[in-house]
Amino acid sequence: MDKNKNYTTLKKFAVAQLVDLFGVADISKEKKDFQIQEGLLAKLDKAVCIGVRLSQSVLEEISNAPTRLYFHHYRTVNATLDQTALRISNFIQRKGFRALPIPASIILDWQNQKGHLSHKKLGVLAGLGWIGRNNLLVNKTLGSQFRLATILTDMPLKVDKPAKENCQNCRLCVKMCPAEAIKETPEDFEHIKCFEKLKEFQKQRLVDQYICGVCVSVCRGKKQ
């Protein structure tokens, strides 16, 4: 089975579904961290990572807190990703392989901001970007202005190489973070401070979910 041909075919299908980012990661050494039944993972050794960009205009409304418009947009993009992941999974299955779509945003542990797996970590392995100071995946073109979903599969696919870029001298997210949770390195990101601010926004009824968007709104990547 030609891994390169499969990759090209699958990417072409994904792009036709209006996916903005596409990459494939080897998950053979990552599965131990997944919150998924071991039996389901046994034969799945690749992760197809997809991203859909957010509306820059919606993000421009954000200053120091999330907006109702952003909250609706966030949910809409997540739903779009889930539907797209389902279509890609069905495409893979029609080719005779297994596919397990992982939702864009189901959080199992809000305080530590963890789900079934880390979309952003797999995104790094799939060459989509790097983990920025904002503790999010940063793409060289889109910044952090996108959402992610993942499809786990046993389809023979070539694997992308992790990106070598970084945030360099950009510290806009550090300056703008309303929780002061963003530090010089991703490792120093203060999850508790971030979560407490998310709870504050939710209590103020600014949004009905634990989201912010301030650091996303200023992380734009290179202009296209």
Residues 46-85: pLDDT tens digits? 999 999 999 999 999 999 999 999 999 999 999 999 999 9
* H/E segment holding residue 124: helix 119-125
Q: Report the pLDDT value the prediction gives residue 112, as an integer from 0 to 100.
A: 63
- d(C-alpha 212, C-alpha 166), whole Å: 23
Instruction: Identify the band that residue 224 occupies on the pLDDT scale cut at 50, 70 and 90.
Output: very low
Q: Report the pLDDT value the prediction gives residue 46, as an integer from 0 to 100.
A: 98
Q: How many CA atoms lie within 13 A of 114 on its CB side?
A: 9
- Asked if residues 21 and 146 have their Cβ atoms less than 8 Å apart, the reply is yes
- d(C-alpha 83, C-alpha 77), whole Å: 10
- d(C-alpha 89, C-alpha 79), whole Å: 15
- For the stretch 117-172, pLDDT in tens is 999 999 999 999 999 999 999 999 999 999 999 999 999 999 999 988 999 999 99
- Asked if residues 120 and 41 have their Cβ atoms less than 8 Å apart, the reply is no
Q: Report the pLDDT value the prediction gives residue 116, as an integer from 0 to 100.
A: 84
Find, among 148, 178, 43, the residue nearest to 100 by Cα.
Answer: 43
Q: Report the pLDDT value the prediction gives residue 110, as an integer from 0 to 100.
A: 60
Q: State yes or no: pLDDT of 40 exceeds 90.
A: no
- For the stretch 86-129, pLDDT in tens is 999 999 999 999 999 999 987 666 666 677 899 999 999 999 99
The 10 Å Cβ neighbour count of residue 104 is 24
Does pTM surpass 0.85? yes
Tell me the β-bridge partners of 47.
25, 152
Q: Report the pLDDT value the prediction gives residue 113, as an integer from 0 to 100.
A: 62
Residue 2 CB burial class (10 angstroms; 0-12, 13-18, ≥19): exposed
